[in-house]
Chain A
Amino acid sequence: MNLQNILHEIEQVDGEVYDRLKHVTRRHMFSSITKKALSVAAPAVMATALNKAYAQSGSTVTDVLNFALTLEYLEAEFYNRGLAAGGLIPAQYRDLFDQIRKHEDAHVALLKGALGSAAVAKPNFDFTAKGTFPTVFTNFQTFSAVAQAFEDTGVRAYKGQAANLMSNDAVLTIALQIHSVEARHAARVRMLNNAKGWIVGMEGFPGAVYAGEQAAREREVNVAGLTGQTEMKISEAFDEPLTKEQVLAIATPFIA
Chain B
Amino acid sequence: MKNFFGKKSAPVNPGSVLPVLPFSMNRRLFLQWAGMTSAAGVLLSSCKNDMLGPDGAARTGIGADVDVNLGSGDVGILNYAYALEQLEATFYERVVANPYSGMSAMERSILMDIRDHEVAHREFFKAALGSAAIPSLAIDFPGVNFNSRDSILQTARTFEDLGVAAYNGAGQLLSDMRNLNTAGKIVSVEARHAAIIRELISPNSRAFAGDDVVDPASGLDKAMKPGEVAPAAQTFIKQGLIASNLPTM
Contacts and interface: CB of A to CB of B under 8 A. Distances in A.
Contacts of A20: none
A187 B110 CA distance: 12
Interface in A142-176: 155, 159, 162-163, 166, 169, 172-174, 176
- In order of increasing CB-CB distance, the 10 nearest A-B pairs are A106-B219, A183-B191, A183-B188, A187-B192, A103-B219, A177-B220, A237-B117, A187-B195, A237-B120, A184-B195
6 contacts: A95-B205, A98-B206, A180-B164, A188-B195, A236-B189, A239-B186
A128 interface: no
Interface stretch (A59-67, A80-88, A116-124, A216-224): A216-224
A162 B180 contact: yes
A42 B220 contact: yes
Nearest to B196: A197
A184 B194 contact: yes
A227 to B, nearest CB: 5
A227 B195 CA distance: 25
A178 B206 CA distance: 17
A202 to B, nearest CB: 15
Given A95-B204, A163-B180, A184-B209, A172 B189 contact: no
Contacts of A38: 223
A31 interface: yes
Interface string B12-23: 000000001100
B5 to A, nearest CB: 25
A51 interface: no
Contact of B196 (A174, A187, A236): A187
Contacts of A237: 116-117, 120-121, 186, 189
The number of chain A residues touching the other chain, given as a range, is 35 or more
Contacts of B220: 42, 106, 110, 174, 177-178, 181
A254 interface: no
Interface string A77-111: 00000000000000011011011101111110010
Given A172-B171, A176-B184, 12 more contacts: A31-B172, A38-B223, A95-B206, A96-B208, A99-B210, A110-B218, A180-B164, A180-B188, A181-B209, A183-B188, A187-B208, A198-B113
Given A183-B191, A188-B208, A223-B124, A102 B219 contact: yes
Q: Is the interface of A mostly helix, strand, loop or mixed?
A: helix
A238 B221 contact: no
Contact of B218 (A42, A99, A176): A42
Contacts of A99: 206, 208-210
Contact of B168 (A173, A185, A219): A173
A90 to B, nearest CB: 10
A229 interface: yes
A226 B127 contact: yes
A185 B124 CA distance: 26
A92 B209 contact: no
Contacts of A233: 113, 116-117, 120
